[in-house]
Structure 1
Amino acid sequence: MATNFERPDWLAKSPRYYEIYLNPRTYSETHHATYRPGREYKSVEEYRHKDSLGRVWVGRENDRYLSATDGRLVELVVQASEDICHGPANSTWARKRIEESTPTILRVVYSLLGRHLQNNQDAWSRVSMCLEWLPSCVTIAGLFKYHYWGYSTASTNLHEVEPSSTNNLPGPRQYANGISKRPLRPRLLCLPQDDGGIVIVNVEEWEAVHGSLEYLFICYTTEQYSHESNEDMDELHRIAKAATRTAGVAAYWIACSCMPDDDDQFEDIYRISDVVRGAQALVVIIGPSPGLRPEEGEMLRHLGSRLWTFPEVLLSPSGQPISIYKRDCPPDSFRVLSKRNFAIEAWGDTTVSRELIDHYEGSIILSPLELVSIALQCFPNRETTRYYNGDLSYALMGLLRRRPSVNPNDSAFEAFCRLSWANDSDRVLERLVCMLPRNIDQPWYEINDFWGSHLWDIEPLCQVVGFGGKDTVIMSGAFGAPIRWTSLEPVNMLMRKTAKRSVARFALRSTPGWIVIGVMSLAITRSRTGTDAYLAFTVIGWIFTGLYILVMLASPYLISILYVGKTWASQPWLFGFEGYMEIGEIEQLVFGINLGRLKWSPYSSDLSLHVSQNGECVGKDPICRESTAQFVSAARNSRYGELKLFTLVDTNTLTVTLFRARRPPVAMLLCGSEGGMQRALLCSYDWKSQTLYRENVLRVNTLVLDKMSRVDRFRLGLNRPMAETKFQRIANILLLAAFRQYSSNSSHF
């Protein structure tokens, strides 16, 4: 993993243009300097990228993004505040200072009339304005081009499967995800004999001759009864036979003897839930385990902490009590607990798991979303001996009707994707990606939204069409827009059309015609001196020339009439920069003057802050909260891979949002709505695999939908893997040269 290079404060600047490395003594800071990345990726492998217009780029790993202007893959350069630019070289992307983008003519006008427009004018500023007036009179976004070209590792429709991955023609739609056949009866059962032995019978063959067979399901854990111990196995069967006679049934099912020895064994492990459903009753056998006290309550809680015993108890026959036997107990010595009381004694998450019990007991029926959401709170808290990486999802699928076939290569997330597609899960994946985790490092199955929303609170705007491997999904139909990090751009403003603005616009736009008419008229008069017939041309010439001079003298005021006032609409841009700045300073850079147009977003990010003013919700500077101010200070010296601070300026809604992420997101994707707001995924881009990775989730106004376009298929990941980096070699050259220069300068004092 990457390590950070510690440097003294006087060297705490990122390396800049390549010329600086070769001639560090000629270095001089300029406003347009670009700070090159302080870290580079260790990988020397070359990768291939194909953009939405079919252009191919091949190169080594570095930070790049898709340009909003032409859709090309270009190097990522991020604007940053002064403290970030002069902070540690802790990024793999280049940085540059924020530059004002206001047109020159507006800069002149705002410089002249700024204090007047801001109602902050004193006597000296009026005198200064008069002195500068005459010289001032003389001086006067886009589509997110992205398309994922690859195949899905698994698609919701078999017609989209890569031809080389299957030799079969596409089958019916219901088999697109390899649905596993659900067994109605167990394969094998144990039949106690009169002589004290048991016979393991094939259920299908037995029932064909003798009729249906009632049986008990024996629940235990291998932590207490080892399959390698004959003594443990004998004790299990002794208690199971006694429980079978007491219950008055003919057989019992127990995992140590009723699992097949063929290739279907692992498949049957994930079908045990169907065996439980078909049993007459459930019997739990507990015993001591190494490191635990031999107390009944302790042994029962240990069994309840195991992953696979949870669905066995949960799916046991409704209304039937659970019989609990202990090791070395007499045949008639057992306890009887209802399922609800079993949860209280054995499970540590009774408050949550009780809702699942009520669902399967029929007292409260959960929706598919509620069922999956609650189950994901219960299953990860339990321990298990792993068979496959997807065991968590395979255990969960026992609660649902349709199950995908077990794939040993699937991760837990990929197995969950298959499970979601196989069942009517109310688009749980589409809702899941719109969640903002309270902890950025929390696993995908911890549904813990920062805003306290549930899965059923979110209405998806797009659809998952497959998954792309490495815990990514292929989605389609989201609304998207690029985020511009390289520089600010002039923002066009729409003002209300008034008579005053119409006169000012006519006066300014007609001045070229006036001066042309005036000059031509005076030229004609000059060539015909002494002739009274041309006196009219002289008068006309001086009138139009005088009008031109008057308009030019009044041009700063006329221009301010056109561009200053209430804004009805503005050109939509998403500008981003790294670090924090005062909102007045941001508006000065974007619009050329601070007139209070921009406001802090009240509840867009996890750092947003709002207050009540006269009963109205008003966004407030996030650093007014002490915890946010501490994070802003700490982010200046954050290490590679740690959370950094970014600012997003939305010129459409005229809001500014402070948020944190590990990498600068290059795109905003609207994937769902909740509470009257849109869930906007801020995504960084891994061009090597054409994958967009979720960095943060904002809540934005619904109005932004009108300014965004649909995004075709895109590959989305929830957590971007941290690539190994090293301190840039060429940066070390600069540091060494700077150190020598610093040493030589110090020797003169």
Structure 2
Amino acid sequence: MDKYDIPRKPVAGVTQDNNVPSSSGGTTLDPGTESTQPAKHWWWNKKVESSQERINKDLVKQFNGKKGFDGHFFHRPLNPNPTPSPFDSAAILESDAKGRYIYRNQLGQTYHKYDDVATYLSPTNYVPKRLLVQATTDVIQHQRGTGDWRRTTIKGSVPFVLKVSEWALRPSNRDDNGKRSIFGVILTMIRILLVAFPLQILLVLPTTASWDDGDIKDSYTDFPGYHWKWPKYAINPLDMRPEDTSLEKPVKKKSISSLKRLLRPRQLVVLKDGEWVLDPNPAKDISYLFISFTNLHFNTDNSEEGRQLLEKMAAFAALQAGKTAYWLDFKCRAPRDQEDLLDADVYRMCDVIRGSYQVVVMLKANTSEQKMQWGSRMWTLPEALLAPGESVFFCTPSPDTDNFSIHSMRTVEMTGSVWEDPDVPGEDGGPTRLLAEHFTGLLTLSRLEILSNSIAALGNRFTNYNPNTKSDIAYALMGLLNYRIEKAPSDTLFQSIARLSLANDSDHLIERMICLFPDPHSPSTPFQQLASPDLFQTHLWDITPECRVVGVADEDNTVLIDNCRALSIRWKNFPRMAVVRHFGFKKLLAELFVASGAWWFLFGFNLTITYAPFYAFPSGLHGTKLLLALEVLVGGFFGVGVLLSFCGPFSVRRLYGGQVLQSSPNLMGFEGVLPLKKLEPLIFGNNNGRLTYAPSSTPFSYAYRDPRERVGQEPVWITESLSSPHLLEEIREQLPKGHKLFTLVDTGSLTVCVFSAKRPPTAALLAGREGGMLRAVLCSWRFGNDCLVKESVVRMSSDVFEAASAKSWLKVSLGS
């Protein structure tokens, strides 16, 4: 086993490397073993204390809430994120002697860093850096201490000459009704007088940014991630962690699927010579009954009376059906001391059901309450669904005699009186009803529908079980499928279902789950919501995956994916936009005015300086006329220069802020929301209607769509956010616990969308598509174990896909 793959106990959030002291004062000398011997040298303990002090000192500094500067002024957060991540104690990176994590990038280069505030993976030099998030004034004033990331004031990168011109022209801009105020026009003329001549000087300086169209990139900035560790389970055995030959007992490789089907029962209770005996080698062609019951009624673990009653009822049911054999689990399963064989019998019980003649349910009374108690148990659902024919039989004691009675019930009828499903808005029937209709041949579900509805139905029945045995849902589920998996006590529910899904080629269930956007307000688990539409009103089977799961990670709810297109999201500021603008007659005139305005002044100065002696000593009438002509000429040069200078602000607005035909694709974000009339000048310098809201990108855009065209409209609570902050506060109160509002700007499509998340996502994974749109999974990056964590999901236009780069082996957590 490779030393990089051994989980170590963290010391104040940091793990210890090999031959580095552990938190108990001993050392970890050999992979896979823990030393219980105390340190032999005093300097080991001193080293631990030094490492701990460094970590504490760094945490105190990074979360002191004060201002700082690292090329940008920022506000530090106040407290570390109190919510534990799903991988706080598993598969974290190794650390050095100073307690810093050692990160290895896609080029194989290592980097040492403390794990403190939120971090992002730099797309320019491929190293982890502390995340700096630009935020609106409202966020800075009221929320700057929350979260675990640094914040800075939102700002753009607009040419200074454009800022000056916009300042001069802003008062005369048209209002929402398309009108200009007289006072605004007068104020604009005064401001133009103030800036006209300085603006002409600035335009001829070589340091002034050019208005020429820049080089347009063809692709978005990609996310430079690559995960080096072995997965816990892999699709291909070659990608599994190799055995460590240095260990005395090599670790057994874990496979996706290896449990074979059971073609016939291993043993049955058979009637021989008038007695019911356990036959360990029953005949291959013998017909038998499968006996179903629940311990809630008979307590077979502790009650001999309950076991005898069950055997008596089973014998009666077999004879009534004309059979001489039956299968009863506590009689026909392996003894408890044979753990491996016992597990195999339990998880292959579905094969026994399929081969039986009838499924007979034993109840102590023929009441609806008893039937519903039986139907509420998780393991009884596959027994009924796999029952031969269309009916299940119920055996109960007769109330007036010592005998028993048997009656049947169609499986579909049981969904109304025996099984209960939670009400699903917009659905006519729950997952159990659909499964009953499928297994009785009334309709045909796809494999994906079978899997998702089965998980939801079994999850609804898990409330009666120990939460520590949640993975049993997967083992009960596999009875409805073809391929099986072996029991792994260390597996979580997600890991078990992921193994089962990958083994059965179940139409990429996990890939589709990555793209789903379940309701975070719902008390149901994500597995229970699989059969229901998500927040985009989309079912699991409506999504086409654009990535592949290649392995299951050590952490819960975490997988490794391949061939996924990934984009980096920029948070620290808005960069200078490289755009292609419309070139028309107005732009030609603007260039002539800007380029020639200063030259008219220079020609005037040149004439003045050249003929200065002549001005001082004119000779005769001819000289006087020549002097007058020169004065008129110089005055004309200066006059034209002044007129062109007055046109300077208008020319600059046209040159730097004209209609954008194409823009370099970038994903940029900020915390909070801003009206477009305030946001667009930060990016492009002025408001010219370039940006629009994506019509169906997030749930926030549902209520604000143009009824005539597929165009999004700005929500009222954003438009009025500056003048009516209570509207924004009402939206924040409706967010899921711990969520904050963020805005994402796509300069490739010139669209804006608003979403909520617990942390600012630094990468967008184009993991699937549905309804003519891409599913972009927004993920934050956890440096501590090099993992992307799903924060939210947005929909993007399909043309983004070709402008993104495909990545290999990314580790992605679907969250809690």
- Same-fold call, TM cutoff 0.5: yes
Corresponding position of 1:392 = 473
- Residues of 2 paired with 1:472 and 1:212: CA distance? 46
Task: Give the Cα separation in 2 of the matches to 1:636 and 1:336.
Answer: 54
The range that moved more, 650-659 or 216-225, is: 650-659
Q: Which residue is 2:369 aligned to?
A: 298
Look up the match of 1:9: none
Tell which deviates more after alignment, 263-272 or 69-78.
69-78
Bigger shift: 708-717 or 349-358? Answer: 349-358
- Determine whether 1:671 maps to 2:744: no
Residue 487 of structure 2 is aligned to residue 439 of structure 1: no
* 1:220 is aligned to 2:293: yes
Residue 535 of structure 2 corresponds to which residue in structure 1?
Answer: 450
> How far does residue 521 in structure 1 lie from its aligned partner after superposition?
9.8
1:243–1:283: 8 Å Cα contact kept in structure 2?
yes
Paired residues of 1:45 and 1:60 also in contact (CA < 8 A): no
Query: Mean Cα displacement is larger for which, 602-611 or 541-550?
Result: 541-550
Q: Pick the aligned partner of 2:279 from 201, 225, 230.
A: 201
Question: 3-state SS of the aligned residue for 2:384?
Answer: helix
Q: Does the CA-based 8 Å contact 2:171-2:188 persist in structure 1?
A: no
Q: Deviations over 1:193-232 (max 9, x none)?
A: 444x4221123xx43xxx5211100000111111221110
Aligned partners of 2:304, 2:474: CA distance in 1, in Å? 32
Aligned-partner Cα distance in 1 for 2:718–2:189: 43
Aligned partner of 1:744 in structure 2 is none
Candidates 138, 146, 161, aligned match of 2:198: 138
The question of whether the paired residues in 2 share the 8 Å contact of 1:189 and 1:253 is answered with: yes
Identity of aligned residues (%): 30
Note closer, same or farther for the CA distance 1:625–1:101 as it changes in structure 2 (3 Å cut): closer
One-letter amino acid of the counterpart of residue 358, structure 1: E
Aligned-partner Cα distance in 2 for 1:624–1:636 = 11
Q: Trace 1:553-572 onto structure 2 (pairs within 5 A).
A: 554-572=647-665
2:396 aligns to what? 325
Amino acid at match of 1:198: W
Q: Relative to structure 1, is the Cα distance of residues 610 and 591 closer, same or farther in structure 2, using a 3 angstrom cutoff?
A: farther
**Structure 1 residue 36 corresponds to structure 2 residue 104:** no
Q: Does 1:62 align with 2:122?
A: no
- Work out whether residues 690 and 715 of structure 1, in 8 Å CA contact, stay in contact via their aligned partners in 2: yes
Partner of 1:282: 359
Q: Tell me the SS of whatever aligns to 1:648.
A: strand
Secondary structure at the residue paired with 1:607? helix
Measured on the aligned residues, the alpha-carbon RMSD in Å equals 3.7
Worse overlay, 410-419 or 52-61: 52-61
Mapped pair 1:346 → 2:418:
yes
Report what 1:109 is aligned to. Answer: 165
- Return the alpha-carbon distance in structure 2 between the equivalents of residues 716 and 400 of structure 1: 27
- The one-letter code of the counterpart of 2:659 is K
TM-superposition CA deviations, 1:689-748 (whole Å, max 9, x none):
11111111111222322432223221111115xxxxxxxxxxxxxxxxxxxxxxxxxxxx
Is the 2:257–2:483 Cα contact (8 Å) retained in structure 1?
no
Moved more, 545-554 or 223-232: 545-554
Contact kept, 8 Å, 2:117 with 2:150, in 1: the verdict is no
The count of aligned residue pairs is: 671
Give the whole-Å Cα distance in 2 for the aligned partners of 1:700 and 1:487: 22
Q: 1:630 to 1:425 in 2, by over 3 A?
A: farther
Q: How does 1:448-527 map to 2 (within 5 A)?
A: 448=532, 449-470=534-555, 471-505=557-591, 508=594
Mapped contact 2:675–2:718 kept (Cα < 8 A): no
Structure 2 equivalent of residue 10 of structure 1? none
1:589 aligns with 2:679: no
Give me the whole-angstrom Cα distance separating, in 2, the residues matched to 1:560 and 1:639.
40
Matched, 1:603 2:603: no
> What is the DSSP-based 3-state SS (H/G/I as helix, E as strand, rest coil) of the residue aligned with 2:114?
strand
Aligned residue for 1:479, secondary structure, equals strand
Q: CA deviation at 1:45?
A: 5.8
Change (3 A) 1:321 1:154: closer
Deviations 1:126-146 (A, max 9, x none): 333333335344233622222
Task: Report the counterpart of residue 615 of structure 1 in structure 2.
Answer: 708
CA offsets per residue over residues 115-167 of structure 1, 9 Å max, x none?
45546533333333333335344233622222222221111111111223699
The CA deviation at 1:476 is 1.6
> Which position in structure 2 is the counterpart of 1:15?
65
Which residue of structure 2 aligns with residue 242 of structure 1? 316
Gaps in structure 2 of 5+ consecutive residues: 1-62, 83-87, 89-97, 203-219, 247-253, 422-428, 619-625
Change over 3 Å in CA distance of 1:515–1:605 after alignment to 2? same
Q: Deviations over 1:305-337 (max 9, x none)?
A: 000000001001124552433488744522222
Q: Kindly provide the amino acid, as one letter, of the partner of residue 37 in structure 1.
A: P
Secondary structure, in 3 states, of the residue corresponding to 1:418?
A: helix
Q: Which amino acid aligns with 1:651?
A: T
TM-superposed CA distance for 1:434, in Å, is 0.7
- Judged with a 3 Å threshold, the aligned counterparts in structure 2 of structure 1 residues 34 and 61 are, in CA distance, closer, same or farther, namely closer
Q: Is the 8 A contact 1:87 1:636 kept in 2?
A: no
SS in 1 for 2:811: strand
With over 3 angstroms needed to count, the CA separation of the structure-2 counterparts of 1:165 and 1:137, relative to structure 1, is: farther
Match of 1:3 in 2: none
Deviations 1:601-643 (A, max 9, x none): 33211222444656234423335599x9878416879999712
Q: Take 1:652 and 1:360, find their aligned partners in 2: how far apart are those partners?
A: 49
1:658 Cα offset (Å): 1.8
Give 1:129's aligned residue: 188
Contact 1:45 / 1:61 at 8 angstroms: preserved in 2? no
On the 8 A contact 1:493/1:569 being kept in 2, the answer is yes
Q: CA deviation at 1:547?
A: 8.1
Deviation at 1:90, TM superposition (A): 2.1
Query: Is 1:48 equivalent to 2:134 in the alignment?
Result: no
Deviation, 1:553, is 5.3
Secondary structure at 1:180 match in 2: coil
Specify every segment of 5 or more residues in structure 1 that has no aligned partner in the other structure, as ranges.
1-12, 20-30, 168-174, 288-293, 721-749
User: How big is the shift at 1:672?
Assistant: 0.8
Q: Which amino acid aligns with 1:596?
A: G
Q: Do the aligned partners of 1:610 and 1:618 also contact (CA within 8 Å) in 2?
A: no
Following superposition of structure 1 onto structure 2, how do residues 144-223 of structure 1 map, counting pairs within 5 Å?
144-164=223-243, 177-195=256-274, 197-203=275-281, 206-207=282-283, 211-223=284-296
How does the TM-score come out when normalised to structure 1?
Answer: 0.81
Paired amino acid for 1:202? P
The answer as to whether partners of 1:81 and 1:579 remain within 8 angstroms in 2 is yes
Q: SS where residue 138 of structure 1 aligns?
A: helix
